[in-house]
Every structure is written in structure tokens, then in C-alpha cells.
Homo-oligomer: A and B are copies of this chain.
Amino acid sequence: MHTTTKTENITIVLNNPKYPGNIGSAARCAKNMGIEGLFVVGHEYPDMEKMKQMATHVASDIVENIKYFDRLGEALSGFNYIVGTTSRLGSARGPVVQPGEMARQIADISQNNKVAILFGPEDAGLANDELKYCHLLVAIPTSNELKSINLSHAVMILCYEIFTARTPSSERFTPKLATSFELEGMYGHLKEMLVKIDFINLEKPDYWMMNIRRFLSRTKLFSKEAQIIRGICRNAERCIGNKKA
């Protein structure tokens, strides 16, 4: 027996898209593949007419229901699992999987968790500082001749893989994970504590945090575990406070 992805738990998140036509086109692709959630992060509202033109009337409901955010962290705060898309590979970015492998993992995780599929702007893609939110990175394989894929076509490939993925039915699926909001609170706390105990350098804290984020995000933490880590931080801070006092 196989189980399919819960597409109602999947949301496409476009970070700073430049062209409203691409947003509309992405809306149509999502709807083709049974995905209804679309978030847009940016500093101004995109042109509604241009979006609807590319979405066609059948996907205009997706466009009308887009949720808009100023900041990426805010857009992602309610998700339990975040997949980042990248075309640049490199050890600095950690392990990157192919779309089919990503989709098989999501088929399981989506049963009990809200999943965001995050895309960067057309020209530059996601910056390292934006990829830090992600539990998993995915890259679409391309020819060396032309690596740059149009945004809406990248959305289509990932939505298609998610829609068609099958996961072998197991007795239990991945239970509900901590939200991005809880994790960011935990990472903030952890960073403060690690600075206080002189484990990480005040000048380059984010460099060290990136390495810690990498293995903790692979671990798929639950809310309770994020609280445990914050509890450790609190106790450590209290001890240092007592000692230094």
C-alpha cells in the first residue's frame, strides 16, 4: 500500500519575486497539481491583473487568496518543515537532494505537518541567510548549457513531483514537528548562550550558527525538544550569571 502527499498541507512561498506574471503562472502550476496555498514575500503588492492573466480564470482563486508578508521569517513562522530550492551546489550549503527524493520525504512529512516550498527571486535565487530556515535543500538537475530555469517552471517541476510522489504506508508517519517560529526562538536563545559561554565569536556568530543549524534541522525537532534545548540554555546562563556575579 502507498500513501499520497497531503497537498492541502503544502504551500508555495515565493520570496521577492520580480514579475507578477511569474506569480500568476506559479499559481496555475500549483493548482494543476492540487496545491492551493501561495505566500508571497515582498515590499509591494504585485499587479493583480498581470497575475490573473497568467493564472487564467481557473486559478484566479489561488491568486485572490495569496497571503502577503514583508519578511521571510514571518511568512515561514507557522510551518513545521521548510524545503529551500537552490541551483547553486556547494559544500557550504550542505546536502542537496533531487526533486524526486524531496517529494518522497514530503509525502510522509505532509501527513501531519505544514510544509513550505520556498523559492527565491528570479535573478539571484535564495541567499544563504534565507536558506538557513530550511530543513532540506533541493536542486533541479539541468543541462550545463543553461542552468537558469524560469521561476514558474521550477515551481511546476517541484509541484509535479510532490503531486505524483507515493510513500510506502507505514504504521506511523512523521509526527508534528516544531514550527519555524519555535525553532527561530530556540536558535536565537542558543546563539545568545553560546556567545555568553564564549563558544562562538561575537564577530562571526552566524557562521558558527549555520553549522549548528545544519545538523539540528536534519534532526527534525519536536516542540518539546526545542523547549528542552531552551531549558539547557536557561540553566547554562543562570550558572554563568552566578559564577560571574
On A, residues with C-beta under 8 Å from B are 7, 25, 28-29, 31-34, 56, 58-59, 98, 100, 140-143, 145-150, 152-153, 156-157, 160, 163-164
Q: A156-B157, A160-B157 are in contact. Are A145 and B98 (CB under 8 A)?
A: no
| Interchain CB contact under 8 A, B146 and A31 | yes
B29, B98, B146, B152: the one contacting A58 at CB < 8 Å is B146
| Interchain CB contact under 8 A, B28 and A143 | no
| Interchain CB contact under 8 A, A28 and B146 | yes
| Interchain CB contact under 8 A, A25 and B150 | yes
Q: Across the interface, which residues of B come within 8 angstroms of A100, CB to CB?
A: 164
19 residue pairs of the A-B complex, CB under 8 angstroms, read A7-B143, A25-B150, A25-B153, A29-B149, A29-B150, A29-B153, A31-B143, A31-B146, A32-B142, A32-B143, A32-B147, A34-B142, A34-B143, A34-B145, A59-B146, A98-B164, A140-B160, A156-B157, A157-B157
- Stoichiometry, copies per complex: 2
Q: Across the interface, which residues of B come within 8 angstroms of A163, CB to CB?
A: 141-143
Considering the chains assembled together, what is the distance between the CA atoms of A109 and B59 in angstroms? 37
Q: A141-B164, A156-B156 are in contact. Are A149 and B32 (CB under 8 A)?
A: yes
Q: Across the interface, which residues of B come within 8 angstroms of A160, CB to CB?
A: 140, 157
Considering the chains assembled together, what is the distance between the CA atoms of A21 and B66 in angstroms? 26
Q: Across the interface, which residues of B come within 8 angstroms of A56, CB to CB?
A: 148
